[in-house]
Amino acid sequence: MYGNELDNFRPDIPELGHIPQIGLDGDAPVPDENPVRAQVPTTSEADFDGFQMPQFPLAGELSASETEMFKSVVEKYFGEDIQTYEAPSKITHSRSADDVEPDSKKCLLTDNGFGIGIPETELVRNLHYEEADTIDQTEIRKQFPILDQKVNGKDLVWFDNGASTQKPLRVIDGLSHFYKTDYSNIHRGAHTLAARATDQYEAAREKVARFINAPSTDNIVFVRGTTEGINLVAQTFGRKYLLENDNVIVSTLDHHANIVPWQQVCKERNAELRAIPIDKNGDLILPELERLITPRTKFISVGHVNNTFGTINDVKTIIKIAHSHNIPVLIDGAQSVAHTKIDVQDMDCDYFVFSGHKIYGPSGIGVIYGKKEALELLPPWQGGGNMIKDVTIEKTEFNEPPARFEAGTPNIADAIGLGYALDFVSSVGIHNIERHEHDLTEYARQQIALIPGITLMGNPQKRVSVVSFDIPGIPAPQVGQMLDKEGIAVRAGHHCAQPALRALGYEMSVRPTFAVYNTREEVDRLTDALRRIVGNTK
């Protein structure tokens, strides 16, 4: 889990020596020789920006006396700067500061139910949510009321998650609460509601940064979604840096959202768009990348996970190759962010974009992560309020990123809603989600492969959450309608990935895609329905 990262923040506090220094998953004590072990700051040297907050035992039971000891140690080392208090016991699985003090980001929680107020939110980013070992499907499904309905007389099966995911109560209720009690425009208001709304919007930015391990909230730009994010980067970068006869590289696996914007800007600048080819399994032929790169290659933009075959691309290798030629890289994370752990610093991408609605959040909100220098490279995109420092009739002085790219009133509520969605994902645990979805995907592939008359498409080496198939003789949209009659929602069509499908000789596919709330029983419902559909055509 996150054991190693937590280890880095373990304290060296003598008074705590007798308290078991267990990690979130009850892992072994940290060896003393751990080279990156944090030193305990004294109050005067406490560098709250420098990640020196000691990590106290976060899992397991602390006795009442240990709890008292913990509090006294915290007070000793942090004195006036820190506040300890009892946190509601019902939130033992969450470390979101918002759960304790809605208006404060200055807290972290421990499993035994007390929190520490800390003076810098920076620290909170380094704390991770506890993951249970398994997913409690019943509990999770209760959080998605939309699933509890009949469609065409049958229990709804939502297998259209690749297009968009359903929303948990945490998002639905959170949005409703925001509109009922705190709604205001942000950043410029002098009144209480403006302050509350601004705090929540910026807290959502903080949650995003933490979720993808961005170094700072300054790396996070809110946009409408992946499509807008890629258009923003393509247009700003392209118009400033692309010259005639330069080229940009995308991949054949990519969604149209990562092809068309680059095609448009290349056309405008008389540059060339190149694509990494794929093999018959739906894997990128990576050795081709080196052949495509020339001294005139200015940008590489590729998808992390393909939306039709579920291929997980080896983006770290792509980024390494690109950087060895000093080429910046954008990763389209629309299909990966909800399914696998994203660590943008480890990935080393220059930009990473994703949409809120594919990760249990609202539609109309998305994110561009950019390295500081990568965002600074880009000129402003849209002009207007918020993105400026000073305006005269003659000229404008622009804001620094991220404000530079957030002109006008943003999608305030949905950014906050995205924060709640990330809370939800974190509370379940992205590794648990990944494991669960992998199980469903492999089970579905095995079961569908057993049905004569159905062809599975693609067989990539590493994949998540997507199965695509063809029933020769029945057009995909018709299969989609037949499944809808059974209450099963799947996508059927070209999935905005025509180059990928065509490379494997298809125009369309039927595509069930899985999320945390789906079950093996639902996969059985799908395969039973498919058997009937195929049987009826004979």
Tell me which residues are annotated as active site: 496
Whose Cβ is closer to ligand PLP: residue 225's or residue 238's? 225
Which of 339, 330, 343, 264 is CA-nearest to residue 303? 330
Q: Which parts of 83-215 are beta strand (E)?
A: 83-86, 107-109, 114-117, 150-151, 154-155, 157-158
Positions that interact with ligand PLP (CB under 6 A): 225-227, 255, 257-258, 303, 307, 332, 334-335, 355
Question: In this structure, what token pair is assigned to residue 102?
Answer: 């809605």
In our burial notation (b when 16+ CB lie closer than 10 A, e otherwise), range 415-432 reads bbbbbbbbbbbbbbbbeb
Whose Cβ is closer to ligand PLP: residue 55's or residue 313's? 313
Matching residue, tokens 């929303």: 167
Beta strand pairing call for 509-511 and 491-493: antiparallel
Give CA–CA dist 183/77, Å, rounded: 39
Whose Cβ is closer to ligand PLP: residue 256's or residue 438's? 256
Backbone φ and ψ for 171, nearest 5 degrees, come out as -80, -45
Q: How far is the CB of 305 from ligand PLP (least distance, A)?
A: 7
Q: How far is the CB of 454 from ligand PLP (least distance, A)?
A: 23
Q: How far is the CB of 363 from ligand PLP (least distance, A)?
A: 7
Whose Cβ is closer to ligand PLP: residue 131's or residue 332's? 332
Whose Cβ is closer to ligand PLP: residue 96's or residue 313's? 313
Chain centroid offset of residue 501 CA: 25
Whose Cβ is closer to ligand PLP: residue 374's or residue 497's? 497
Question: Could you tell me the sign of the dihedral formed by the alpha carbons of 66, 71, 75, 78, in that order?
Answer: positive
Q: How far is the CB of 258 from ligand PLP (least distance, A)?
A: 6
* 36 within 8 A of 44, measured Cβ to Cβ: no
* 275 within 8 A of 228, measured Cβ to Cβ: no
Give CA–CA dist 213/190, Å, rounded: 32
Q: How far is the CB of 358 from ligand PLP (least distance, A)?
A: 6
Q: How far is the CB of 312 from ligand PLP (least distance, A)?
A: 12
